[in-house]
Chains A and B, each alone.
Chain A
Amino acid sequence: MTKKTAFWIFLIGTLSSAAVFLGATYDTHRQVATLSNVDKLSDQVVAGKRAFEKYNCNDCHTILGFGGYYAPDLTKVVQRVGEEGIRYRLKSPEMAFANSPRKMPNQHLAEQEITDLVAFFRWVGEINNNDWPPQDSKKRLSRGEQMMVAKVGVSPGAAVFQTKGCMNCHSLKGTGGTFGPALDKIGAGMSAEEIGKYVRNPKGVNPGSRMPSQKDNLSERELDEVARFLATLK
C-alpha cells in the first residue's frame, strides 16, 4: 500500500460516514417534532427546562439516561412518583430523604419553578424514546408494580396506594419512599380495621408517629380500600 492509497482510504472513509451521519441528522430534525410532541412543548415546559439547568439537577440525576448517576433517572419521573411526589421532593428534600443514605440539596425553589419543572417532566415523560428506561416500561413492569397490578383487580386499594402519594414515604418491594417504613409485611401485624384507624389519625394510635392524617387527603371509601389492600400484605 502506498501513502496515496492510504490517503484515499482516509478520504473515502470519512466522507461516506459523514454523508450517512448528516443525512440522518437532516431526517431526524424532521421526525423529532412528532416523536417529542412538539405541539405540547409550551413556554412553561421551556421555563421548566431552564429551572432544571439553573439548579444543575442534571449533574446528579440522569434524564434520558444522560447526566450524573448519583440519583434516579428523571425521564419517567411523573409516571413513577406522580406530580405530587415531585413537588414534595423538591419542596422538602430533607424530609423526603431523611432516612435515605443519599440526600438531595434543598434548592429553595420558588413555587412557580416547581410548577414549571413538573410541566417539563410531564413533557419529557411522553417523548417516544423506544420505551426506555426498562424499570419504568409498562411492557416490563417492575416487581413492585406487577404485584400491585395483580392486586388491583381484587383490591382497588392498590390503585389508591399507588396514585395518592402513599409511596412518597412508604415503599413496596423497594419501590417508593424511605421516610416512612416499608409496608411489605404490614398485614402480618395489623388488621384492616387497625390500619384504617391508623391512617385516619396516626398520632391517636401512636403519639410518636410523624405521619399526617390522611382524612383530608382521601375519601372515606378510599381510606377503607387502601386499609383493606394493606392488610393483605403479609
Chain B
Amino acid sequence: MEYRSQKIAYWYFAAALPLFVLQVVVGLWLAANYTFTIPQSIVNVFPFSTARAFHTNLLVLWMLLGFMGGTYYIIPEETKSEIYSTGLAWFQLIALLVTGVTALVGFLFGWTQGRPLLEIPMALDFVVVIGALVFLFNVGMTMFKAKNWTAIQGTLLGGLVFLALLYLFGIPFYRNLVIDWYYWWWVIHLWVEGAWELVTASIFAFVLMKITGVEREVVEKWLYVEIGLFLFTGLSGTGHHYYWIGAPKYWLWIGGVFSALEPLPILLMVIDTMHHVKERKAKIVNPLTWTYAIGCAVMHLIGAGVWGFLHTLPQINYYTHGSQVTVSHGHLAFFGAYALLNLMTFYYAMPKLKGIAAYDDRRGKIGFWTMCSAMMIMGLTFGVAGVLQSYIERVLGMGYMVAQGYMRLWMGVTMAAGVFFLGGLLTTVVDLFTLRPSKVQA
C-alpha cells in the first residue's frame, strides 16, 4: 500500500466476500430444488423464483463491490495521488450495501420488478444510480485532478461510465415484450461482454504489470488490442440473444458471425498473460496471486470463450437456447471471468493492505484448486443435463418434466460438486481475512 486512501478498498472486499458465500449457499438450495421434491407448503412461501433472484442479485452485488474496491485500490497508484474523497467512497459503499440488503428482504415479500436479474424495484434503482454517480464522480475527480493519464485509467473509467449508462436501459417498464428483452440484453450482455470486460481488462493489466514488472508500454499496447477486440466482437455479438425474440432475421447473421469471433480477445488475453509471465522482470513473491492470474485467464477462455462459442451458432442455439446448457455456460463464464478476477485482485491487494510482503498461501492454494475443480465439474454436469434437455425436450419433443426426470441425477451431482465449491470458497474467505506472513522467506 503506497497511499493511505487505498485502505477503503479493504472494506469493499470485506463486504463482497460474505455476499459471495451467501450466493453459493442459495445456489445449493436451488440445486436441491432440482434434485428433490420441495413440498407445496414451502414452495408457496419461498419459491424457486425468489431464491433465484437472491442468487443472481448477490452475484451482481458482490462482483460490483469487488470491482469498485479494486478500482479504489488501483487509481491512487495509477494517478499517483490520494482518492478525491474517502468520505464519498464510504457513503457509496454503505448506500450500495443498504440498497442490496433492502432489495433482498423485499424479494422475500414479493417486492420485485419481476424481470430476471433486474428484479430490483424502480425506487431502489434510483438509489443505485445515485451511488453509481457518486462513485464515477469520485473516481473521475481523482483522475482529472491528478492528470497522470494512462491507458489503464482510461479503460477503467470508460468501462465504469459505460457500465453505469447501460444500467439505465433496465429501469423503465416496456409495454412490448420484444423491446423489453431487446434492451434487457443491453444491460446483461453489454455488461458482461462489454463494460465488465473493460473494467476487468484494465484491472488485470494493472495487476499483471505490477507482479511481472513488464513495462507499461507493452502491457498497455496489449490492452488496447484486447479491448478493441472485446468491443468489436461484443457489441454486435449481442445479436446472439436476438435470434428467437421476434427481431428481424438478419440478427441470425450478425449474432452468428460476431459471436463466433468472441473467443479471440480472450485467447489473446491468455497469450499475453503467458507472454508477460515469460518475459517477467520481477521476482515471484506470491505464487498464489500468479496462479489466480493464470487461472483467471484460462477459465475465462474455457467458460466464456469455448462454452459460449459452442452454442451461439443459430443452428445449435435453436435447440439449446434457454436450457441447462445456458446455465453451464453462465456458471463457468462468470466464475472464470469475474469471480477469479475479483479473487485475484483480493489476493493481490489484501496482503499489501495488511502490510504483508509474502503471505503464507497453503490454505489459499487448497481453496483455489477446490473451487476450480468443483466449478469445472459443475460446468460439465450442468452441460450433460443441458444436452439431455435439448435432445429429449427439443429434438424428441417429449414433455418438459420427462426431460427433467432424466436430468435429475445430474442436477444431484451438481449439488454435490456445489458442496465442495462452498468448502473451497469458505477456505478462501477465511484465508483472505486471516492472511499471515509466509514463514519461508521468498
Contacts and interface: CB of A to CB of B under 8 A. Distances in A.
A144 B398 contact: yes
Contact of A94 (B40, B49, B179, B227): B40
Q: By CB atoms of chain B within 10 A, which of A28, A134, A178 has the most?
A: A28
B351 to A, nearest CB: 31
Given A3-B224, A24-B239, A52 B244 contact: no
Contacts of B81: none
B114 A70 contact: no
B246 A35 contact: yes
Interface stretch (A7-15, A109-117, A152-160): A7-15
Nearest to A106: B44
Interface residues of A, number: 83
B401 A129 contact: no
A28 B182 contact: yes
B217 A17 contact: no
Given A3-B221, A9-B228, A58 B116 contact: yes
Contacts of A88: none
B247 A28 contact: yes
B258 interface: yes
A2 B221 contact: yes
A169 interface: no
A68 B47 CA distance: 12
Contact of B116 (A35, A41, A50, A66): A66
A7 B154 CA distance: 12
Interface string A1-45: 111001101111110111011001101110110011010010000
A63 interface: yes
Nearest to A93: B40
Interface stretch (A96-104, A191-199, A223-231): A96-104
Q: By CB atoms of chain A within 10 A, which of B34, B227, B248 has the most?
A: B248
A134 B394 contact: yes
A2 B225 CA distance: 11
Nearest to A58: B116
B184 A66 contact: yes
Nearest to A55: B114
Interface string B148-179: 00010000000000000000000001011111
A132 B224 contact: no
Interface stretch (B14-22, B63-71, B133-141, B323-331): B323-331
Nearest to A70: B48
A60 to B, nearest CB: 5
A60 B47 contact: yes
B37 A101 contact: yes
B48 A140 contact: no
Nearest to B247: A28
Contact of B231 (A17, A67, A124): A17
B360 interface: no
Contacts of B181: 64, 66
B40 A6 contact: no
Contacts of B114: 52-59
Contacts of A27: 248
A123 to B, nearest CB: 8
A130 B256 CA distance: 15
A217 interface: no
Nearest to B184: A66
Interface residues of B, number: 83
A105 B47 contact: yes
Contact of B248 (A1, A28, A56, A146): A28
Contacts of A174: 398-399, 401-402
B176 A130 contact: no
A20 B254 contact: yes
B427 interface: no
Nearest to A94: B40
B50 A59 contact: yes
Contact of B400 (A14, A25, A72): A72
Nearest to A51: B114
Contact of B247 (A32, A49, A57, A124): A32
A26 B222 CA distance: 33
Nearest to A140: B397
Given A24-B251, A35-B246, A65-B244, A60 B48 contact: yes
Nearest to A22: B235
Interface string B7-47: 00000000000000000000000000110011110011001
Question: Top 8 closest A-B pairs, CB basis?
Answer: A142-B397, A53-B114, A65-B322, A10-B228, A59-B49, A13-B232, A132-B244, A174-B402
Given A9-B228, A174-B399, 4 more contacts: A11-B228, A73-B322, A101-B401, A104-B43
Interface of A: 1-3, 6-7, 9-14, 16-18, 20-21, 24-25, 27-29, 31-32, 35-36, 38, 41, 46, 49-50, 52-60, 62-73, 93-94, 97, 100-106, 124, 127-130, 132-135, 140-146, 171, 173-176, 178
27 contacts: A1-B225, A6-B228, A10-B231, A24-B250, A24-B254, A36-B176, A46-B175, A54-B110, A56-B47, A58-B115, A59-B48, A60-B52, A67-B116, A70-B49, A72-B400, A101-B401, A102-B33, A102-B38, A105-B43, A105-B47, A127-B178, A127-B246, A130-B243, A132-B244, A132-B321, A143-B397, A173-B399
